[in-house]
Structure 1
């Protein structure tokens, strides 16, 4: 399988490009508007055809590239069924299977960071990786204090849905701020300081005590992302 991981320094966002091989159809997960030229260049040089672009949720710290990519490539833009972004081409439900020219992704509804967050499991019959958006981060988890976030729902999504995957499943989050590029379900189960050896009530208390400032671009990014980063 062809796999590329892109990084946006400003927002600490990871974007993922997947295809079964060079010359095949491809999918992008969590694209950043300012990095669109990079994605297009990689797609061209690898002789790919972008057919789907996915946002795991409505991001608050960057503007999505969904709209630009749809205009430039004709790809189908996808989000979960509970998103308020009316501009996306199609929606997925919990358990839906996407097959992009042999690359299989299963949609998992994993609310908590937002009430519309989805994760995507690669090769769900024998899970290889999971793209967790902001729900589960490397040695952390996404904040739950805006966009209808819910720390209890976050705990349930992490411990009941994501931790139900095999320990060897690679975790690819939408963000990292320490330079880590990937983790695994087993690592996060054992070493994630917010979850490991914690109870649900303890996790809720931790998340409710973070007192983080709003993302710098929140007032701009959220409205823009409801129209996929550009007018529909």
Structure 2
């Protein structure tokens, strides 16, 4: 299996490429339009066929031309919802990724689990709350992090879409113990930081 992480200094964004070298099939996770030339070069160098574009979330309305630029990759996208016909699994040669609905940062966030690596986009950034001033669904965000991320094996590696303070990768144990928004916090504590008191549940 081939794994490549691409970090963009301009926006502190991180994208990922996974490929099964035997079958020559590859997926991209959260590619940005500015990174497409680099990814195309990697795919050509290793003679890989892009099978899927996986997006944990998107802010295309805030980035003019982003969606159209990704269309140029000529690969179907999985975003917003889990395709029923796939049964929650993406086949990649002899490997597979599990698709997990993790709403919160945006209404229809998805995360992708491959072996011991969990790609969660902006759902849970290392040492920070999600990358936007106010998550779309704070209650769902709490549930997604505490019931889906934090229940994974403690050694599971967490890969987000933004890297700050030189931190790109963490693990479940570290974030359960030390995350400034979730560790040692109750649901009410978390929501009180994000919601006006009258709407907190």
Report the TM-score range of the alignment, normalised by the length of the smaller protein.
0.7 to 0.9
Distance 2:102 2:83 in 1: 12
8 Å Cα contact 2:99/2:111 also seen in 1: yes
Distance 1:46 1:99 in 2: 19
Q: 2:105 aligns with which of 113, 125, 135?
A: 113
Match of 1:133 in 2: 121
Distance 1:32 1:62 in 2: 10
TM-score of the aligned structures, taking structure 1 as reference length: 0.75
Q: CA RMSD in A?
A: 2.3
1:4-153 matches, within 5 Å, as 4-21=4-21, 24-59=24-59, 67-72=68-73, 74-81=74-81, 92=83, 96-123=88-115, 128-142=116-130, 143=132, 145=134, 149-153=136-140
TM-score of the aligned structures, taking structure 2 as reference length: 0.86
Q: What secondary structure is seen at the aligned counterpart in 1 of 2:77?
A: strand
Match of 1:162 in 2: 149
**Alignment coverage as a number of residue pairs:** 193
**Cα distance, 1:119 vs structure 2:** 0.7
Extract structure 1 runs of 4+ deviating beyond 3 A: 60-70, 91-95
Match of 1:175 in 2: 162
Distance 1:129 1:66, change over 3 A: farther
1:20-79 Cα offsets, whole Å, 9 max, x none, are: 22761100000010111011111111221111111111236656866434434x312221
* Structure 1 unaligned residues grouped into runs of 5+: 82-90, 210-232
8 Å Cα contact 2:6/2:14 also seen in 1: yes
8 Å Cα contact 1:136/1:173 also seen in 2: yes
Distance 1:137 1:102 in 2: 30
Distance 2:68 2:22 in 1: 24
User: Comparing both chains, which one has the higher relative contact order based on Cα–Cα distances under 8 Å and sequence gaps of 6 or more?
Assistant: 1
Distance 1:157 1:70 in 2: 29
8 Å Cα contact 2:54/2:79 also seen in 1: yes
Q: What secondary structure is seen at the aligned counterpart in 2 of 1:165?
A: coil
8 Å Cα contact 2:22/2:93 also seen in 1: no
Distance 1:47 1:23 in 2: 10
